[in-house]
A = this chain, B = another copy of it.
Amino acid sequence: MAAPPAEFALIARHFLPLAGPEALGLADDAALLDPPLGRQLVLAADAMVAGVHFLPGDPPETIGRKLLRVNLSDLAAMGATPLGYLMTTALPRDLPPGWLAGFVAGLAEDQRQFGLSVLGGDTVSTPGPISLSLTILGTVAPGAALRRAGARPGDEIWVSGTIGDGALGLRVLQGHLPADAEGHLARRYRLPEPRLALGAALAGHARAAMDVSDGLVQDCGHLCRAAGCGAVIQADAVPLSPAARALVMADPALLPLALAGGDDYELLFAAPPGAGIAALAAPTGIPVTRIGQFTEGPAEVLVQGPEGAPMALPVGGWSHF
């Protein structure tokens, strides 16, 4: 009988410390989980490929965290609470020394921060770039999940946090834009902040919600199509971080990129006037800003520039194909 091959040693060394008790030591064919009583399951999956979703030079500590956070952001958009995740990694054989240890250390930190652990997964080799896939499980009270459909004409459009940091941060890391002194934009690209507490607070109050991944304007269009209504966004109401604002002030042509560039992972949601959104959000400490209104009419998003005229948005969001 040959010794267990390197694959098992790798899993035991790196992934076993991430595993919760339901993972059965990552030594069985599957995980076993008692679903929390009286809750619905919420399930999402995202994939990331080196050179497409993260930069080959990104610190390994942030890469797994970004994948986990992108999935946690999907839970936040549904108003759900995290339960656990499964992850598959396709890794080249010539990974730099220490890469996997850093990758796992970042995940461990986020597991502590967000209160979940690995349930299972698979580790394989690839002749291509690093390819990662993560499936997340969460739970929500029955019927309380936030959905994309549900906005009505007259509802207010709200967004959490600040918009554009991720898209600008990517350009900073690519060397196309100057970095801010605190590294805020690059950090926001690498480590999105899933708005779990806000999503939970909005469940039962917001009429529709999603997270902003493809770009604010394109994603607002998704809410419009799901609801069969239009939307007007006031560009100067869209919250920008100080670092993003400084770039846009220096070059106003960057504003469309901020509004349509994507990688924000903020919550975008609809609420009727008087829903008390600011008061609901206050205990979470997550800023929320009203940026426009849903309207009667076709499923189109009109962005009004600072002078009230429609803004041209040449960037149509990010598409893989």
Once the chains are docked, how many angstroms separate the CA of A131 from the CA of B313? 33
Is chain A's interface secondary structure helix, strand, loop, or mixed overall?
Answer: mixed
With a CB–CB cut-off of 8 A, which chain B residues contact A51? 127
A45 touches B121 (CB 8 A): yes
> In the assembly, how many copies of this chain are there?
2
Residues of A within 8 A of B (CB-CB), count: 86
Interface digits, A13-56 against B, CB 8 Å rule (1 contact, 0 not)? 00000000000100111111111000111111111110111000
With a CB–CB cut-off of 8 A, which chain B residues contact A221? 1-2, 4
A128 touches B125 (CB 8 A): no
With a CB–CB cut-off of 8 A, which chain B residues contact A74? 29-30
Interface digits, A132-157 against B, CB 8 Å rule (1 contact, 0 not)? 01011110101001011100000000
13 inter-chain pairs at a CB distance below 8 angstroms, sorted by A residue, are A5-B316, A5-B317, A5-B321, A28-B78, A29-B74, A29-B75, A29-B77, A30-B77, A32-B145, A43-B119, A46-B88, A86-B135, A131-B133
Give the 4 A-B CB pairs with smallest separation, nearest first. A128-B128, A5-B319, A2-B316, A133-B133
Binding site for B on A (CB under 8 A): 1-7, 10, 24, 27-35, 39-49, 51-53, 73-75, 77-78, 80, 86-90, 93, 119-129, 131, 133, 135-138, 140, 142, 145, 147-149, 210-211, 217-218, 221-222, 224-226, 299-301, 313, 316-321
